[in-house]
Structure 1
């Protein structure tokens, strides 16, 4: 038993050493450019300085700036239709709508965002992506992968952030773009992670065909360690970072061993 425990500690030390060396080497050679990581247009990207519009104009503007991956927030209307908006309170503020929330589809379509931009139903979103076959759609908020994938025109062009154990397993079983929310995943596999049962943690990804993780900036040593280990096992990490474009890019340069894609409001040059 003592010998087995010693082997475990030796294995842990070797893993930490390898990850540390990997991070140092990667930091030394990393050069940021638009081809080094996936650039994701957050909420369609900004338009005229406005963010979180999830609008047609935002999509077109980001596409013209070179974006190839677009994240849109999806919510469900009162009558059961999916539409593009971050949340209903924000949408009401953007449109001046004063009725009961959520609205129905007809009400949603009737209002302009900030009196200027075009709100998008899921049919509109589908049509836009269908007319731009060179791009990829990412979404979150709606934890129903089967319904979402069946609605989208091409399941090979959609990635979806998932938040529950059930949706992660379901999503991984029906399409390759299932993305585990890191913080939800940490709770699901909490006992495994605390015990540093790395093999079981990685098996969760492999068993459920999860190829992506979505996370915020890693602050704690534990989070950094987990994310590096995840990435070393071939799982891609998409990350939300905060600040100006220059500040986000600086964080990308500082944390290359934690990420494969970053969400930007404004597509960098």
Structure 2
């Protein structure tokens, strides 16, 4: 549905099975809760394949009913073959998993992916492999963002070394902290905000964020 409505970037969660296979899902505990799986987590791929679809989703949102399905990485690659013009923003939760996911994606597909990283070291490593234009620093996973004096000069200097980075992401609350957001915007890298669907999916919010200098928003 997102592709049919014209979205150019899709933020997708990725989780790895015990035997190293990747699936598009937020986390294994919630997957187990939805599918009724009661074994060890993470599961092996065979257990996931037996439970790919046909499960009830959460209550309908805005009147749209849906079902819960698990999508293997291979299925996503086939969609990339069929649909041009969009890119995937990854969310793996850790730098280590981001690197493992990169290694699992065939070379010919990698230009369609933008990788979230979760530390300055992870940012540097991924930028060295892919180029900074295909890297996001997920700043809301760092220790600095919640401090009143967060994003100090040492942190900003590290960002200035990557002026063409795709974006830095922060929690929605930072967009309303003028001084803190101003420090981040001064670097010149686009700033995105992250939040829950009930926070982000507001008619007026995009305009309010743009007025503050934020480039965009996304949800889990």
Q: What TM-score do you get using the length of structure 2 for normalisation?
A: 0.75
**Structural mapping, 1:198-217, within 5 Å:** 200-208=154-162, 210-217=165-172
CA distance in 2 between partners of 1:161 and 1:250 (Å): 27
1:230 to partner: Cα distance: 2.6
Rg bigger for which structure? 1
1:114 aligns with 2:55: yes
1:164 aligns with 2:104: no
Aligned partners of 1:75 and 1:142 also within 8 Å: no
Equivalent in the alignment of 2:180:
226
After superposition, the Cα gap between the structure-2 partners of 1:69 and 1:194, relative to the gap in structure 1 and judged at 3 Å, is: closer
1:247 to partner: Cα distance: 5.4
Structure showing the higher helix proportion among its residues: 1
CA distance in 2 between partners of 1:102 and 1:78 (Å): 5
Equivalent in the alignment of 1:6:
none
**Structural mapping, 1:1-269, within 5 Å:** 61-111=1-51, 112=53, 114=55, 117-140=68-91, 141-144=93-96, 145-152=98-105, 153-175=108-130, 176-187=133-144, 196-197=152-153, 200-208=154-162, 210-219=165-174, 223-242=177-196, 244=198, 248-256=202-210, 257-264=212-219
CA distance in 2 between partners of 1:128 and 1:119 (Å): 15
1:244 to partner: Cα distance: 4.2
1:196 to partner: Cα distance: 4.9
CA distance in 2 between partners of 1:88 and 1:110 (Å): 15
Structure showing the higher strand proportion among its residues: 2
Name the SS of the counterpart of 1:66 in structure 2: coil
Q: CA RMSD in A?
A: 2.9
1:73 to partner: Cα distance: 0.7
Which structure's relative contact order is higher, taking Cα pairs within 8 Å and 6+ residues apart?
A: 1
Name the SS of the counterpart of 2:85 in structure 1: coil
1:241 to partner: Cα distance: 3.4
Aligned partners of 2:127 and 2:134 also within 8 Å: yes
CA distance in 1 between partners of 2:206 and 2:157 (Å): 28
CA distance in 1 between partners of 2:17 and 2:191 (Å): 31
Q: What TM-score do you get using the length of structure 1 for normalisation?
A: 0.63
1:227 to partner: Cα distance: 2.6
1:186 to partner: Cα distance: 5.0
CA distance in 1 between partners of 2:160 and 2:128 (Å): 11
After superposition, the Cα gap between the structure-2 partners of 1:194 and 1:212, relative to the gap in structure 1 and judged at 3 Å, is: closer
Q: Which runs of 5+ in 2 are unaligned?
A: 57-66
CA distance in 1 between partners of 2:186 and 2:84 (Å): 31
Q: Which runs of 5+ in 1 are unaligned?
A: 1-60
